[in-house]
A and B are shown apart, each in its own frame.
Chain A
């Protein structure tokens, strides 16, 4: 059994001929100007498979300009699996990402430095000291391994949160580059039975993370059958540059065969053209190179087309996720991935503002709805992210879970059949025979079967004319965090701690 996600009738922003035009443009980019590569192995691999490799100097560093012919690229991309399974500790939580099926799953993401807590405080009116009103106040904390574990615990209990992609950067004093990977994966895996995805901080830790995952999954073969973890590698520095470190990580992960996201996150207006056709042609070229590399290293490596196109803010040139172009770029990329039959790791649900509220809700809902409608297989960044992607707020994640649930209902396919029409006609005839002419009684079975949306769970009573949404969401978060976590069995944890170096002993019970 796999999680259900939501199957959509994909919204096609680009016409088929436009998809084809962008594909041709991407191929053209890969021969002229080509891709700058800072990783020697990658230059050699592409060279061995027929690419033109020119040794150049850029910024004082030795690098290579790759000019990749169409056939080299398309043959390699075609070798990539069209269906990728992301496993889970509880196999009922696994995800089947089929590049030809627009079944959408939702995941968290980013590696935010900040964790935003919401407190409720009482304020006294200056104009009328007799009036006291409660308001939410926000407290910024740094990301820690304990908070990462709490986020995973929250993920476990939120229905729409299909996969845990580490949302916070762990910055504890006892976390170093050398022990960060094992601790972030362990804290995540030990608190959710859903799929866990993360980047790899230190290539030297890859074997430890894989060993840990094998122990938890039940062995080497079991991990292959049920890959409970996957990696993200952002090997591209836009525009069109393959960085040494991450590209090498992608190569090594591909050799092992663990599912891998090849991601690129150019900014329209700064590191990519701002017009969508230019942006999409460039990011598509960047992703095709990365995907091709994984297949040249190890044919059949499960890989996701990781499109994370953003738009630069014209105020400060930071990322801006609340703008309409963000959704447009992402929808186009979903169509490009579908053109190649590759599962798409897409992006939606972020806002530019620092705190939950009106702007946060509006911005994230635009992309939640629109990008979901496009039918990518995996939408990351969908939970709790604020301040572009610099802050993760667990209360916002609780809100997002409910809002994504509403989006899923909104997008659900109609179920009109001859029988359902007959039932409706019967209802209409019965109600017209009553004096009150109300259909209310017929709502009941639909309400209980889940066919219609339940009431908004965070609606308050309007006490003191204050919006109580955050109060209710915070209560829900606390309720969830008071539940016992779904920890890994004790003897398995013992084995992990015996065989995997670098784990913090305090994580055994958290």
Chain B
């Protein structure tokens, strides 16, 4: 029975179904439990968190990644699956905290002050959740002070900043300076992205990483996660 539920979670991740109302690729699946309902069911059955994450969510997402690489899946498919994993991780989050199992890390994301564009940031959030990160989305038009306060409150390992406009990208620098002034710069890795910015700009303002698109943002986060320099998360 355990294996059946895990296989269903995996299958529904592959189909990108968050809830029972979602369609997948197969006919007649609407009304059948999606990843959210199945995750709740797995918890109710006492299935271990590690198994749910590893054998259900991660294995499913690995296959989605392979299909994407093989050009069998398009970006909408990848996002749908990532969204399903993200929804499951949200359900699991309180249980993880209690069990002492560490997540891959927490990341605060925000579109910087003066900028209302959040599509890119939202896509990155979905993909990061799908990759197993806890994401705290602060929204758009977020001031440096709000981000500083959130870092103190949430104690993330990463801060992701987004800007679409050339007129607002400068507030990424302001945010980094505010984190530095608050003594928090060494506690987090900062990754930036958005149509206006570049790798060169990221370096010039002292960011730790740059994601040209959502997928690169996840790769950069993974790479910074494994970096020995990462001291994020202890927050003194």
Query: A: which residues have CB within 8 A of B?
Result: 430, 435-438, 440-441, 443-445, 447-448, 455
Within 8 A of A (CB), among B61-84: 74-77, 79-80, 83
Q: Say whether B119 contacts A438, CB under 8 Å.
A: yes
| B149, chain A: closest CB distance, angstroms | 20
Q: A430-B21, A441-B83 are in contact. Are A447 and B122 (CB under 8 A)?
A: no
Which of A435, A444, A448, A455 has the largest number of chain B CB atoms within 10 A? A444
Complex: A430 Cα to B34 Cα, angstroms? 15
A445-B23, A448-B25 given; A440·B76 CB < 8 A: yes
Q: Which residues of chain A are within 8 angstroms of B22 by Cβ–Cβ distance?
A: 441
Decide yes or no whether B209 CB sits under 8 A from chain A. no
For A443, the chain B residues whose CB sits under 8 A away are 76
CB-nearest residue of chain A relative to B86? A436
Q: How far is it, in angstroms, between the C-alpha of A435 and the C-alpha of B126 when the chains are bound?
A: 10
Which single residue of chain A is at the shortest CB-CB distance from B17? A441
Residue interface bits B83-96, CB-to-A below 8 A is 1, else 0:
10000000000000
Residues of B in contact with A (beta carbons under 8 Å apart):
16, 18, 21-23, 25, 74-77, 79-80, 83, 119, 122-123, 125-126, 137
The reply to whether B76 and A447 contact each other, CB–CB distance below 8 Å, is: yes
B137 with A444: CB separation less than 8 A:
no
Q: Which 7 A-B pairs have the closest CB atoms?
A: A436-B122, A441-B80, A443-B76, A440-B76, A440-B79, A444-B76, A438-B122
Chain A residues whose C-beta falls within 8 Å of the C-beta of B80 in the assembled complex: 440-441, 444
Q: How far is the CB of A424 from chain B (nearest CB, A)?
A: 14
CA distance A447 to B80 in the complex (A): 13
What would 13 A/B residue contacts be, using CB atoms closer than 8 Å? A435-B125, A436-B125, A436-B126, A438-B79, A438-B119, A438-B122, A438-B123, A440-B80, A441-B16, A441-B18, A441-B83, A447-B76, A448-B25
Known contacts A430-B21, A444-B16, A448-B25; is-contact A437 B76 (Cβ 8 Å): no
Contact A441–B76 (Cβ < 8 Å): yes
Q: How far is the CB of B105 from chain A (nearest CB, A)?
A: 19
Name the distance in Å between A449's Cβ and chain B's nearest Cβ: 11
Contacts of A437 on B, CB cut-off 8 Å?
122
Closest to A454 in B: B74
When C-beta atoms are compared, the residue in chain A nearest to B23 turns out to be: A445
Please measure, in the bound complex, the distance between the C-alpha atom of A448 and the C-alpha atom of B26, giving whole angstroms. Answer: 12
Residue of B nearest to A434 (CB): B83
- B138 CB → nearest A CB, Å: 11
Write the nearest CB–CB distance from B97 to chain A, whole angstroms: 20
Min C-beta distance of B116 to chain A, whole Å: 13
Report B-chain residues with C-beta under 8 Å of the C-beta of A438: 79, 119, 122-123, 126
Q: How far is the CA of A455 from the CA of B75 in the complex (A)?
A: 11
Q: Which residues of A contact B122 (CB under 8 A)?
A: 435-438
List, in ascending order, chain A residues with CB within 8 A of B83's CB: 436, 441
B126 / chain A contacts, CB cutoff of 8 Å: 436, 438
Given contacts A430-B21, A435-B137, A436-B126, contact A441 B74 (CB under 8 A): no
In the complex, are the beta carbons of A441 and B79 less than 8 A apart? yes
Residues of chain B lying within 8 A (CB to CB) of residue A445 = 23
CB distance from A444 to the nearest CB of B (A): 5
Chain A residue contacts of B21, Cβ below 8 A: 430
Closest residue of A by beta carbon distance from B16: A441
Q: How far is the CA of A430 from the CA of B23 in the complex (A)?
A: 13
In Å, the complex CA distance between A453 and B125 comes to 27
Hey, which chain B residues are within 8 Å of A455, CB to CB?
Answer: 74
The smallest C-beta distance from B169 to any residue of chain A, in angstroms, reads 22
> Whose C-beta in chain B lies nearest to the C-beta of A455?
B74
CB distance from A459 to the nearest CB of B (A): 13
- Nearest CB to that of A443 among chain B residues? B76
Check B77–A444 contact: CB distance below 8 A.
Answer: yes
Q: Considering only CB atoms, which chain B residue lies closest to A438 in the complex?
A: B122
Q: How far is the CA of A430 from the CA of B83 in the complex (A)?
A: 14
Contacts of A435 in B (CB 8 A): 122, 125, 137
- A448: B residues at CB distance < 8 A: 25
Inside 8 A of B16's CB, which chain A residues have their CB? Answer: 441, 444
Query: In whole angstroms, what is the CA distance A440 to B21 when docked?
Result: 16
Closest residue of chain A to B125 (Cβ to Cβ) is: A436
Complex Cα gap A385–B122 (Å): 46
Assess the B74–A447 pair: CB atoms within 8 A: yes
- Chain B: minimal CB distance from A353 (Å): 33
CB contacts (< 8 Å) of A440 on chain B: these are 75-76, 79-80, 123
